Structure 1
Amino acid sequence: MTITIAPTRDIATCRHLRRVVFIEEQGVPEADEIDDRDGDAIHLLATVDGAPVGSARLLLSGTTGKIGRVCVLTPHRGTGLGAALIRAAITELRARGMTTAKLGSQTHAIGFYKRLGFTPTGPEYMDAGIPHRDMTLTL
């Protein structure tokens, strides 16, 4: 099995993965999932044996990089692929001179991000009908 995580310009594939995970599985409204930020973002695509299975979107602002739209298809969850995707995002942000990484974690995933070094900040809030909490990591 060959796992690859790399920046991509294939936004259509990333959007397809996000559609499966966020819109179809989690019931996020399409209007909340699809926005006008994809063209400004760095997209990471995770593949297993050449098949796309996960993605993440990075948005840069000053010295802060926001990691978002992180998704992994169901058969590949719990395999370490999600953690590898976040580590690749952190590496990409560092390479671009960012000093802070931030993200909005669904509350059920806070422990996952804590294990990767992120710290929860601020109160819980609703995003697309799902409870979230902001998290940060000093790079």
Structure 2
Amino acid sequence: MSTSIAVTQDFEACLALRHTVFVQEQGVPIEEEQDALDATATHLMARDGDTPVGTARILFQEGTAKVGRVCVLERARGTGLGADIIRATVDIARETPGISRVKLGAQIQALGFYEKLGFQAFGPIYDDAGIDHRDMVLELA
């Protein structure tokens, strides 16, 4: 696999990836998967050659980069691509003036994945689109 990760304007490709992973695989209602925040988010695309295989979005608010809608197609899972996407979001956050932390809502089964990348869980478990989540934060030095 020869992957690249970059900010993208190809929002339709991001939505297609998210639809495959969240709506088709995880059963998230489409009206909950897409929201008005997409219009102001920075979108990242991971590609294997020319083929989109993963995505994430970042929202910048009050000193925080909020990462969300992180997904990787099944065929690219287990390759380290998900970690690379998260590292790319953290790099963008570090390069953005005024941003001091990265926050995300992690599905419970992914807590360990994010902990290995330096995130710390906080707060209660909550339901998001029928899936248990917990907030996590990474303070930027």
Q: TM-score, normalised by structure 1?
A: 0.98
- Code of the residue aligned with 1:60 in structure 2: it is F
How far, CA to CA, are the matches of 1:78 and 1:34 in structure 2? 26
Q: Secondary structure at the match of 1:24?
A: helix
Residue 50 of structure 1 and its aligned partner are, at CA, apart by 1.4
Moved more, 92-101 or 18-27: 92-101
Residue 39 of structure 1 and its aligned partner are, at CA, apart by 1.1
Residue 59 of structure 1 and its aligned partner are, at CA, apart by 0.3
How far, CA to CA, are the matches of 1:123 and 1:62 in structure 2? 22
Show the counterpart of 2:77. 77
Q: Secondary structure at the match of 2:36?
A: coil
Show the counterpart of 1:105. 106
Show the counterpart of 1:55. 55
CA RMSD of aligned residues (A): 0.6
- Code of the residue aligned with 2:115 in structure 1: it is K
How far, CA to CA, are the matches of 2:9 and 2:16 in structure 1? 14
Listed one character per residue, the Cα deviations across residues 33-80 of structure 1 (whole Å, up to 9, x for unaligned) are: 011111100000000111100000000002100000000000111100
- Code of the residue aligned with 1:85 in structure 2: it is I
In percent, how many aligned pairs have the same letter? 51
Show the counterpart of 1:2. 2
Q: Secondary structure at the match of 2:54?
A: strand
Q: Secondary structure at the match of 1:68?
A: strand
Residue 2 of structure 1 and its aligned partner are, at CA, apart by 2.2
- Code of the residue aligned with 2:14 in structure 1: it is C
Residue 83 of structure 1 and its aligned partner are, at CA, apart by 0.2
The within-5 A match list for 1:1-80 is 1-80=1-80
Show the counterpart of 2:116. 115
Listed one character per residue, the Cα deviations across residues 3-54 of structure 1 (whole Å, up to 9, x for unaligned) are: 1100001111000000000000000001100111111000000001111000
How far, CA to CA, are the matches of 1:120 and 1:17 in structure 2? 26
Show the counterpart of 1:135. 136
How far, CA to CA, are the matches of 1:94 and 1:45 in structure 2? 18
Moved over 4 A (4+): none
- Code of the residue aligned with 2:110 in structure 1: it is A
Q: Secondary structure at the match of 1:117?
A: coil
Q: TM-score, normalised by structure 2?
A: 0.97
